Amino acid sequence: MTISFTGVPASPTRLEQLIGGKWSSSAGGEIVRNSPAHGVAVSIIPQGTAEDVDLAVAAARRRFDGGGWSDLPANRRAAIIRRAADIIVSEIDELSLIETLESGKPLWQSKAEIEGATELWYYASGQAQTVHGETFNNLGSDQLGLVLREPVGVVGLITPWNFPFFILAERLPFILAAGCTVVVKPSEHTSATTLSMGKILERAGLPEGVVNIVTGFGDPVGQAIVAHKDVDMVSFTGSTRVGRSAVMASAANLKKLSLELGGKNPVVVMPDADLDKAADGIVYGVLHNAGQCCVSGSRLLVAKDIEKALTDKVLTLMSRVNVGDPLNPGTRVGPIVNRSQLDRIMGLIGEGKAEGGDLLQGGFTLDNTEGLFVAPTVLANVKPDMKIAKEEVFGPVLAITAFSSLGEAIQIANDTDYGLSATIWSTNLDSSLALMRKIKAGRVWINTTITGGPEMPIGGYKESGLGRETGMSGVSEYTEVKSVIVDQGARTPWVI
């Protein structure tokens, strides 16, 4: 299969990073980002250094300690966050194109993600004014208890390449609503829309130094943020491997951590499921974003009695999915983000076959000179202890395992170090709820998948992470709690 393209920009855009209100290059040099679909340079970003991180943290610290943000009345912070959301709405087309050129995701999908991101910015603006503490009027007539929520301080925000603008929106507006200042490090593959967000926030009236953006590699930029003594909290989204190293590095000053890490998410199809609905959901769940999705439904656990019927439907639907140029409106699945990810995916497919999995569809890369495309792939007869059933593939690869009872489905679903999400397809409310209660995962979908809204908290059990983002946790995650006791009566002397 050969892919034809509809057109890409003639030359890359040169971008600068943002430190203490100033846009600049870096002494570290530059990084060129090629479109993973088209193989041409689309952006050039500064290759930030540990010194850049020091400057950015110092700027964030000065702003946090010196006032002008965390001490503003919340309605002023809310107004800036809302104005930023309004500007995003007015620039959806431009932002979507940049997102697609850097990440490879279909343009219509980038637009949907940026629309979803504006919902998060609006929602967080409301939370700026509703986050509150508690009072205790029951400590006796002389004492009043106050529980204050205070912004945690300077936050280091490290984001990945799979949903650059959306994952930023799941965190940054909440961090700002809480009154924190921040140093952001986007993935070097997809930094452009984060830098655009910096410009948008400036235009929305954000004081300088509140948001600083240092672009570059995990080593040194990410590492310097995580280890920095003046950073009070780190929010990291990415692999469990790097998440674990962030836990170690954060020990220097015992900073607070919020981690959203990998997943190996089960999709359980019960014998009574609506197979047409389930098949479409399964194909979407594993191919969304070319499978480069932390909540990707990569493990299909299906009741033995319906295994053949469901597998046939999945294969038929999957064969109709258009893979190709993300600028083409008919494309459902774009390229893999980079060569090393593609090689990793192909390696895991190979190991799945070698360990006894039956390759029913795909298993090859598409014939294109520059683009990094992997054909949607299905492996059946996958045993729970095989590597393809255990490791996060982060590609368009479905592994099918059959089960004989509800108990076995629960056992296999939970037989993983991860606990990010799960999906259940069943028309029986009793068994769906029984399964939902037993599954150890931060998000469970019943008869739908990979959907939600700003109101719903996200995060993982087990090695899928720490803490929760968005929803009512969105702002409180970025606060410290202070207990205050006020005594108003005469003192009972301690010294007798």
Active site residues: 260, 294
Q: Closer CB to ligand NDP, residue 58 or residue 227?
A: 227
Q: Could you tell me which residues are beta bridge partners of residue 256?
A: 233
C-beta of 209 vs 263, nearer to ligand NDP: 263
Pull the structure tokens for residue 290. Answer: 């070319």
Cα–Cα separations (whole angstroms), residue 222 to 114, 203, 332, 474 = 25, 27, 32, 22
CA distance linking residue 310 with residue 402, whole number of Å? 11
Distance in Å, CB of 263 to ligand NDP, minimum:
7
Neighbouring residues of 93: CB distance < 8 A, sequence distance ≥ 6: 111
| Smallest gap from residue 240 Cβ to ligand NDP (A) | 7
Least distance CB 43 / ligand NDP (angstroms): 14
C-beta closer to ligand NDP: residue 106 or 238? 238
In contact, 351 and 337? CB cutoff 8 Å: no
Q: Minimum CB separation from ligand NDP for residue 103, in Å?
A: 11
Contact by Cβ (8 Å): 135, 145? yes
Cβ-based nearer residue to ligand NDP, 125 or 190: 190
d(CA 445, CA 432): 10
Select 292 or 331, whichever has its Cβ closest to ligand NDP.
292
Instruction: Give the other-Cβ count within 10 Å of 108's Cβ.
Output: 16
Cα–Cα distances in angstroms (integers) from residue 39 to residues 2, 34, 36, 42, 347, in the given order: 15, 5, 6, 9, 22
Q: Is 337 helix (H, G, I), strand (E, B) or coil?
A: coil
Residues that bind ligand NDP (CB under 6 A): 158-162, 185, 187-188, 217-219, 222-223, 226, 237-239, 242, 245-246, 260-262, 294, 341, 392, 394
Q: Minimum Å distance from CB 113 to ligand NDP?
A: 13
